[in-house]
Structure 1
């Protein structure tokens, strides 16, 4: 895979365009396939039984519509910042500030802190000393410090780490899928009882969160070669690969364990691996889970600081965060700030609290991007030749917005309160920023 190394060019932002279609697609797979896939099959099966496969398909259609919106705006706007830049271009600086804060703080920082906690908990099963106290805290500090140093050293180093972790975590999942196809029983995929709409909606909501993450890869838009072509193709390659993998894993899990899958909500893939591969299968999947979470973290530390960089570049955050390293040509201050923030929340927060606060933020951002497609078409007309255009006029972005609103209504009271508090804090930050600038 050579797309990210050859034919690079420096942009007006001081960054270098090195990311090609293959690297973007691998980055997306790495970001999306995190800890969720190792627990999802059991959770969804407990709610829907064999009908869980239908929830995956419904989620696939929904997420596809959302990322068609990303593909269009991403091919029109090539500056770094991803969702923030798209929403700010469509709706102005206030909306951009809200989107930026919801993304880097509400989604990325808090979600990464939760992932770091999950990674440490998984390692504690093998190394009990990491369960609590000073060894645990030192490990978390070392983890974020290592990821920051790798990505400050250069985009090429960060991309290589992402590619390596993507391959390492996918191999066990592909092995389980391949062998499991021969061990599954088709009669255990038969749907005897159809779920209620409420149960189905709750399952789609869970899966929607598990599919989230591909948009983070677009924070490097300022470093993507030929974005009008690379963004749509990279999204198709990465998101399409995730869809296929998730559906196959759910089918293999249901076909191998049948009704017993619903009783394995904590580590269903380990149970499937034990059934299909033998006793060593569970250990292999535990290792894959650790690598998967680490890969998702490395992908976020590669991508999200570019959003912080873009926000600082546009005056929404302190200008020091827009500095580019004179030798490595990376946004080193933004990378260090992001890693430090994630480390602080990982040291002081709990997995459940961090996950609940982060859960609502990403859906609000998706809603903003879907509406941005319509707003940009009205303001600037349809995409130019060579840029990606969603077929069907406003149908896809309007359907995307409607489904996202419906999914937001499926949130529990706790999730809604957490998302509301985060949104209120974001607005307050914008007001304080305005007052300070006037002063």
Structure 2
């Protein structure tokens, strides 16, 4: 299976960095709300939705891990789909993931950070202050990204492990104060209810796969990518389950009355107003960590598309000193600032989830194609035992999740795909015409 060279990107990323990015992206702002939202649907049996959703994502993680050990180029989900199904599929997955997921998600996270800050500093409710705030945050992460993946990951690791350790400390105190009556239940909840709660949870799990987009900068990527990603997914599932058990175990029915900030309410019950303030700070760090990881990683998707020739080649140029795609980084930083400042992204956020699921389905189909086309892979391939059964389970689960979206949302996704297909052929026509004129 051919892999493309990628200039002089430096291979500086190890397993710990991959694990860090998975934890950083997946454990974001959503976890501060989820325990209450899931409890409203399932009551005391809420942990079942976490287990079911966890099984889906662990199975998904194993499939992604095998594909990542076969394709170690920069680009992650995009490059897996492109190598399996060609340039049109690659163009669709690149644009959907880069703009439909990465850019909109970062814009949402920037505004979430400003909203959290405004609870203590009302000035961040002012438009000019928010734009200034966005500029500073984007300036810092852009500078780190241009200087290199190694410097950027030091910053991301600091934010990520700060939030993980703080959340785990809260969980430990919470687990020690659990009331068993709050987490026990009689009978099995309706499957439709479990499905409804699982759909909600899947939206929160999305994003960790971005950690695979820097394959071209990993040390020994055929080992680093699959091992780091699988460990990260297991860590996310475990942490989510522990958080929910501690919140539900302490608050019980009070969760229904505290749907806006269940973790903050838990901290307040355990440590008073000081605990409430600390969890507010941790939530800011959590969102900052998620934003930093996504921003750092999505630049590589733009770069990979430029290397493959489906996007302007200018974004494939590397900084002469640092060997990083500086133009791609600066372009996305400016675009991010514009979208975050207008706030128009709020009406398109549903496309983030829908686009992610479609790309996941594309990668699972690539997983099957690579398995069928390469009967005897080398020993370096991370071959999942029972992979075909696992892949079928994941594919059915993803199609089911996608079908749970509102019809208008599904229509919006397919209209977007139609527009992108037309755009691809228009660009391809002009590209071919220019080449003929030059010849």
Tell me the alpha carbon deviations over residues 191-218 of structure 1, each in whole angstroms, 9 at most, x when there is no partner: 2464333322121111112111111011
For 2:224, the equivalent position in structure 1 comes to: 230
What is the correspondence of 1:269-288 to structure 2 with a 5 Å cutoff?
Answer: 269-288=263-282
Aligned-partner SS, 1:327: coil
Write the distance in 1 (CA, Å) between the matches of 2:276 and 2:412.
35
The question of whether the paired residues in 2 share the 8 Å contact of 1:309 and 1:331 is answered with yes
For 1:60, the equivalent position in structure 2 comes to: 54
| 1:267 maps to which of 261, 276, 287 | 261
What is the correspondence of 1:56-135 to structure 2 with a 5 Å cutoff?
Answer: 56-135=50-129
The question of whether the paired residues in 2 share the 8 Å contact of 1:47 and 1:203 is answered with yes
The question of whether the paired residues in 2 share the 8 Å contact of 1:185 and 1:255 is answered with yes
> Structure 1 residue runs of 4+, over 4 Å off?
none
Q: Structure 2 vs 1, CA of residues 116 and 354 (structure 1 numbering), >3 Å: closer, same or farther?
A: farther
Write the distance in 2 (CA, Å) between the matches of 1:283 and 1:412.
37
Question: Structure 1 stretches of 5 or more lacking a match?
Answer: 1-10
For 2:436, the equivalent position in structure 1 comes to: none
- The Cα of 1:122 is off from its aligned counterpart by 0.8
The question of whether the paired residues in 1 share the 8 Å contact of 2:102 and 2:295 is answered with no
For 2:23, the equivalent position in structure 1 comes to: 29
Q: TM-score, normalised by structure 1?
A: 0.94
1:213 has 2:207 as partner: yes
1:379 has 2:381 as partner: no
- The Cα of 1:319 is off from its aligned counterpart by 0.3
Write the distance in 2 (CA, Å) between the matches of 1:382 and 1:216.
28
1:143 has 2:133 as partner: no
Write the distance in 1 (CA, Å) between the matches of 2:281 and 2:256.
23
| 2:195 maps to which of 201, 209, 212 | 201
- The Cα of 1:421 is off from its aligned counterpart by 3.8
Q: Structure 2 vs 1, CA of residues 259 and 303 (structure 1 numbering), >3 Å: closer, same or farther?
A: same
- The Cα of 1:173 is off from its aligned counterpart by 0.4
Write the distance in 2 (CA, Å) between the matches of 1:161 and 1:354.
30
For 1:4, the equivalent position in structure 2 comes to: none
Larger deviation: 187-196 or 26-35?
187-196
- The Cα of 1:233 is off from its aligned counterpart by 1.3
For 2:37, the equivalent position in structure 1 comes to: 43
For 1:397, the equivalent position in structure 2 comes to: 391
| RMSD between aligned residues | 1.5
Tell me the alpha carbon deviations over residues 214-255 of structure 1, each in whole angstroms, 9 at most, x when there is no partner: 110111000111112111210122111111111000000110
- The Cα of 1:50 is off from its aligned counterpart by 1.5
The question of whether the paired residues in 2 share the 8 Å contact of 1:382 and 1:389 is answered with no
Q: State the aligned residue count.
A: 429
Question: Structure 2 stretches of 5 or more lacking a match?
Answer: 434-439
